[in-house]
Structure 1
């Protein structure tokens, strides 16, 4: 069946589950013409509200109330330049869900999404999940602004649960993370049908992109639902493995080692052995305070809620088979079925590169899928670019490298032009690091 007919049939089949409920109140400045903004049906949505905006980028949506800056705080360097002036339609809403961790718009309802449809459409669609446990606007500065200016439609989901208590969603261990994958698939189908309705033809290419947990979602979708996508950019995606490296295996020794540093200088080796680069030591204090303990506890509660000991003493390998089975539900295999570009910083101080993307690259190779993968190790890159402003002589922003990778993926999927070979990209001695990155010398 041709793509447009498939999407039309899918819309008809699922339209009975879509209820356009009472609209939440969103700010409506003079350039928002709600009455003159007929929107396509978001298939499966319980609630949706549309606004025609003079600018879909954060330069406009911050003022109009169609983004939440707290969602994307800390993810980009202050010197990053973004495009603006992209008119079009924004659709906010949510799918049926029983959890209520997302309070945006006063909805108190999870599985919220945002879809943006630029007036000047290039024929493509970019879909994203959110990093960490952030909400649906988390990618607005680092992904949405830039792809909208290139003409893409854009869609993002909160993944179905948010915040530090995300693990309370679901019944069985692993349910909350498993829902992330389901919600991305759900949004991709809904966004593809909305695009076909809005523009009169389906998207010619659908690309996925995401950072951290959203990078994991790119990996999972290209392994498990590749028919929905043409390719993806995985920006330091989380690596979940039932029987290999995962954050529940490397964060506890880092926590123990860092706690012992004050009275045992030799404890530094425990942090290094956990996978963290020696050059990242100036970042350890911040990450120990802001990330390591919280991240370990949240995900241990998700996969192993019965554990009652100290998270610093947690031993994933020794935990019961049921814990490994819960992790197996969301594990990655490396069997990607569409082109994938992976980026990871050598100074990532949350997901150390040697325990994450280096391992995933080997999984891909072992599955015989190496030809569909490019992997760029970014010398000096950290997990979040916001720390570049504090450590400009140590770190290198990842954002411009993501943009270069996305351009390479465009050419790869559209014309078959292969990206530069897999490589470690050295940190330039100078220049505008917040806005430039070449994938080859």
Structure 2
């Protein structure tokens, strides 16, 4: 669940103050669109495109659909994706086409992009050279519709895919104000991805005069959760998906409301040192954050753990702190209604009912590739993706799933800039996963079996930024 936009500047400042990469990664060369890919005239038929169900849409013909051009042209928002990727990640270029921005009917107004003050915003990009495929994504964290642009939107466009992304229907640290009942705001995220998928498939048919041949769901963090949910609940809309460290919501332990509170309780004693530090350390490790990740704990305590616990708890259990909205930041354990003392198991059944609206089952219906860093210090791998992989196997869907545990990966790749000698970026693992999924769907070349991918010995930062073989 990457950070909300107003925290990005502080994050970036913290990262830049530390050691930065000195070698620019070249990035893997993207293959050209598949043989026979459509090559209509530049932006042909733009005026005839209609996004089904949209309340508002705006089309523009661009010489460059990737962030190499959209930053300057104003057709992305850098704040949406700031802090998610390494600074030296190469940006593909040479992707002209059509961009559609707009929104579906909605009553909430947390998204102020374009001055619209209207949620359920989307972006659809249609490259002139199309490979027949469509990638659909929901934003990570509580970010807006452009959040995936740099992490993988640029790259899939350069491969010839059409690309569609949604803000999920509500954004920002007050997203929980949306909806009539607890859990509604989060449940809307799933509805909006389904809505955009249906609309984007029709849009691509309008643009290219033939149906989409392949639809892939992709996303990181909360976006990875959305991939899982779509493949469980609407497998008929997709051919497969790539899940980058997806959030795990389920009605029982573990879920974020079970592993974050004990971490918040223990961290002050750990940070203070002294006689209680050892016991506090054991509590944090028990909560899921592994020994060896301690160098990441101060940063995540300051920027992630407290905020994430409070705003998601407010969405799912607003009665916990009464009239107070989203708790008290960094409250001391023992303070009345402090989120550090939150006990999910002791809360009323209505809280589980709220979580049930968004719960995952593991019953995927199409091929899914999951990857997750072993040093994730927001969504600890042992409590999230390890658990989800076991759920998939229990449901008898293991043949549809590949799961790669990536040693040295953490939740946001920008921290690789700060710790290039201790972390590895996950962007190249995503690219390897997409290629593996394509081969799986093309001719049933099964990806390597699920495994832990070891940290490459002696690899320099430039190599780590461009390679992540799934063969281990």
TM-score (norm 2): 0.85
What's the CA shift string for 1:380-431, capped at 9, x where partnerless?
Answer: 0000001011111111100100000011011111221101110100011214
Looking at structure 1, the residues matched to 94 and 84 of structure 2 have their Cα atoms a distance apart, in angstroms, of: 22
Distance apart, 1:265 and its partner CA: 1.2
In the other structure, the counterpart of 1:79 is: 88
SS of structure 1 residue aligned to 2:164 = strand
1:168 maps to which of 154, 163, 177: 177
Contact 1:207 1:231 in 2 (8 A): yes
User: After alignment, is 412-421 or 40-49 more displaced?
Assistant: 412-421
In the other structure, the counterpart of 1:265 is: 277
Looking at structure 2, the residues matched to 417 and 46 of structure 1 have their Cα atoms a distance apart, in angstroms, of: 42
Of the two structures, which has the highest relative contact order with CA contacts closer than 8 Å and spacing of 6 or more?
2
User: After alignment, is 51-60 or 422-431 more displaced?
Assistant: 422-431
The correspondence of residues 112-191 of structure 1 with structure 2, limited to 5 A, is 112-191=121-200
In the other structure, the counterpart of 2:467 is: 436
SS of structure 2 residue aligned to 1:394 = coil
Looking at structure 2, the residues matched to 35 and 345 of structure 1 have their Cα atoms a distance apart, in angstroms, of: 42
Contact 2:43 2:97 in 1 (8 A): no
The correspondence of residues 221-370 of structure 1 with structure 2, limited to 5 A, is 221-261=230-270, 262=272, 263=274, 264-266=276-278, 267-308=280-321, 309-370=337-398
Unaligned stretches of 5+ residues in structure 2: 1-41, 322-336
What's the CA shift string for 1:18-55, capped at 9, x where partnerless?
Answer: xxxxxxxxxxxxxxx99984251100000000000000
CA gap 1:259/1:116 in 2 versus in 1, 3 angstroms = same
Contact 1:39 1:50 in 2 (8 A): no
Unaligned stretches of 5+ residues in structure 1: 1-32
Output the aligned Cα RMSD.
1.2
What's the CA shift string for 1:155-175, capped at 9, x where partnerless?
Answer: 000000000000110010000
CA gap 1:39/1:389 in 2 versus in 1, 3 angstroms = farther
Instruction: Tell me whether 1:373 sits opposite 2:404 in the alignment.
Output: no
Looking at structure 1, the residues matched to 44 and 368 of structure 2 have their Cα atoms a distance apart, in angstroms, of: 41
Task: Work out the number of aligned pairs and report it.
Answer: 409
Over 6 Å off, 4+ runs: 33-36
Looking at structure 1, the residues matched to 247 and 45 of structure 2 have their Cα atoms a distance apart, in angstroms, of: 42
Contact 2:125 2:162 in 1 (8 A): yes
SS of structure 2 residue aligned to 1:221 = helix
Contact 2:46 2:207 in 1 (8 A): no
Looking at structure 1, the residues matched to 95 and 398 of structure 2 have their Cα atoms a distance apart, in angstroms, of: 37
What's the CA shift string for 1:270-311, capped at 9, x where partnerless?
Answer: 111100011110000000000000000011000000002100
In the other structure, the counterpart of 2:117 is: 108
Looking at structure 2, the residues matched to 170 and 373 of structure 1 have their Cα atoms a distance apart, in angstroms, of: 33
Looking at structure 2, the residues matched to 272 and 47 of structure 1 have their Cα atoms a distance apart, in angstroms, of: 48
